[in-house]
Amino acid sequence: MAEFKIETRPGQNPGARIVRITGPLTLQTLFDFQRALRDELAAVTIVDLSAVPYLDSAALGSLLGLHVSCERHGRRYGLAQVPQRLKDIFQVMHVDKILVCFPTVEEAEKSMEAFVATGN
């Protein structure tokens, strides 16, 4: 099994951060993921899922929790570089129209540029 890793770095715009996940996102790794999201609140959080080969239902619930939390607190998020296997899971679970996904981290940042600048 691939080693699980979380890397956090600032985004191109002030108030944005990129969280890159490597390895399976499952119940065993979920608490580290949730802690990384909570430890440093940002106006915009982009989660790079390009190196996530698999996620389970608990992890999917956590991504939905990120969606709800951002909606509730006036923040934005995006899931970037989502592998096809994860997109298939999103579609089967009927959350593909709820979760905010972007083809690349750069496109996610560009899309959220105005929000970071104005806070809207």
Domain membership of residue 117 (yes or no) is no
Q: Which amino acid is at 47?
A: V
Q: What is the pLDDT of residue 13?
A: 87
Q: What is the pLDDT of residue 113?
A: 81
Round the CA-based radius of gyration of the chain to a whole number and report it.
13
Q: How far is the C-alpha of 76 from the C-alpha of 28, rounded, in Å?
A: 26
pLDDT per residue as tens, the chain (120 positions): 568 999 999 999 888 999 999 999 999 999 999 999 888 778 999 999 999 999 999 999 999 999 999 999 999 999 999 999 999 999 999 999 999 999 999 999 999 887 665 655
Q: Domain range holding 70?
A: 5-112
Domain membership of residue 65 (yes or no) is yes
User: Cα angle vertex 94, ends 46, 25, to 5°?
Assistant: 45
Q: How far is the C-alpha of 57 from the C-alpha of 43, rounded, in Å?
A: 26
Domain membership of residue 118 (yes or no) is no
Q: List the CATH number of the domain containing 78.
A: 3.30.750.24
DSSP H helical segments within the chain, as ranges?
27-39, 57-73, 84-92, 105-118
Q: What is the pLDDT of residue 109?
A: 94
Q: What is the pLDDT of residue 51?
A: 97
